[in-house]
């Protein structure tokens, strides 16, 4: 829906007319779910409301904008090295905020050197920090996140794993009933996740996102990712080495009746391995 409660219909999606950033947000990002999770965990841990947020690798800054739109007394900083994607967010999301736009600050900079005020919470979602393939580089980044937060700040990361994470797979998923940030109802389309290459020796991986449309047209390799898949023990050691005093993992429970996860992320010290799993790392100063 639009911010005044009205929904507008989009024209038919085809490979020629579709905007890959709109498709990405509809298929990959879940800003409302992210916000609910980080606010719940922060308030439970710190016994106060979350007021300032920094999103590294923010892309279109959808999460920053969604959070500021929902809260009248908060402020967000988004950092990304890609000027084109930041310009897209500035053009398509910031105007929707109207009077709230001044509380979102977008910086085109390296997340390891960007200067922002200390924040309550710092997030790096969509596995973005996987671009750091060397241990020393990732440690340097984690030290930077530590220094960019207030004294009781919390770092949020996401990650995935399980045997299937190391396989070459192609997974299509129908995207239906999605509405953009500015209130446009998207026609159905298919999101395709491809894990194209994986090296067992160094855990380097190449992945792609493709999009398919009802008219038969496609956007192949709309996005490409060259990552290192880090394991929970590696990340735990790095975060403690960077100075964090407590590191926890939030994972979903398997529901045998649904033959799927239960959609609720809980703090866990032990976790039975699944073919594929997704979760969050929460590191506290």
What is the rounded average pLDDT of the residues 19-35?
A: 93
Domain holding 92, by residue range, is 20-162+228-284
- Across 269-276, average pLDDT: 82
Sheet with 178-179: strands ordered across: 8-9, 184-186, 178-179
Residue 194 lies in a domain: no
61-78 pLDDT, tens per residue?
999 999 999 999 999 999
Is 182 part of a structural domain of the chain?
Answer: no
Domain assignment present for residue 176? The answer is no
14 domain residue, yes or no = no
Residue 8's pLDDT band (boundaries 50, 70, 90)?
low
What is the spatial distance between Cα 240 and Cα 245, in angstroms, rounded to a whole number? Answer: 6
Please give the pLDDT value at position 272: 79
Residue 190 lies inside a defined structural domain of this protein: no
In the block, tokens 């084109």 appear at: 84
pLDDT tens profile 80-97? 999 999 999 999 999 999
CATH of the domain at 120: 3.40.50.150
pLDDT for residue 3 = 47
Residue with tokens 């999770």: 37
- Structural domain includes residue 171: no
Total structural domains within the chain: 1
Residue 9's pLDDT is 58
Reported as a single tens digit per residue, the pLDDT across 155-193 is 999 999 989 999 999 999 999 989 999 998 999 999 999
pLDDT of residue 6: 52
pTM for this model (two decimals): 0.92
Burial degree of 278 (CB within 10 A; 0-12, 13-18, 19+): middle
């Amino acid at each position: 829906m639009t911010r005044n409660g009205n929904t507008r219909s989009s024209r038919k999606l085809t490979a020629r007319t579709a905007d890959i950033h709109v498709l990405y947000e509809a298929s990959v990002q879940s800003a409302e779910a992210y916000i609910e999770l980080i606010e719940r965990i922060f308030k439970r841990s710190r016994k106060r409301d979350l007021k300032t947020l920094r999103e590294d690798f923010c892309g279109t800054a959808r999460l920053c904008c969604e959070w500021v739109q929902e809260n009248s007394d908060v402020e967000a900083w988004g950092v990304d090295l890609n000027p084109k994607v930041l310009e897209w967010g500035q053009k398509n999301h910031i105007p929707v905020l109207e009077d709230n736009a001044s509380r979102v600050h977008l910086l085109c900079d390296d997340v390891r050197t960007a200067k922002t005020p200390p924040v309550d919470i710092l997030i790096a979602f969509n596995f973005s920090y996987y671009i750091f393939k060397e241990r020393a580089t990732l440690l340097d980044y984690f030290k930077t996140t530590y220094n960019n937060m207030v004294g009781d700040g919390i770092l949020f990361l996401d990650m995935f794993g399980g045997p299937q994470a190391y396989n070459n797979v192609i997974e299509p998923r129908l995207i239906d009933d999605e509405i953009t940030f500015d209130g446009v109802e998207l026609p159905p389309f298919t999101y395709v996740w491809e894990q194209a290459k994986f090296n067992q020796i160094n855990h380097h991986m190449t992945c792609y996102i493709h999009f398919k449309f009802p008219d038969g047209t496609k956007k192949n390799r709309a996005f490409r990712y060259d990552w290192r898949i880090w394991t929970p023990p590696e990340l735990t050691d790095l975060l403690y080495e960077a100075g964090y005093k407590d590191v926890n993992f939030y994972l979903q429970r398997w529901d045998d009746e649904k033959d799927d996860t239960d959609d609720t992320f809980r703090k866990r010290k032990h976790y039975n391995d699944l073919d594929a799993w997704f979760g969050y790392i929460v590191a506290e100063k």
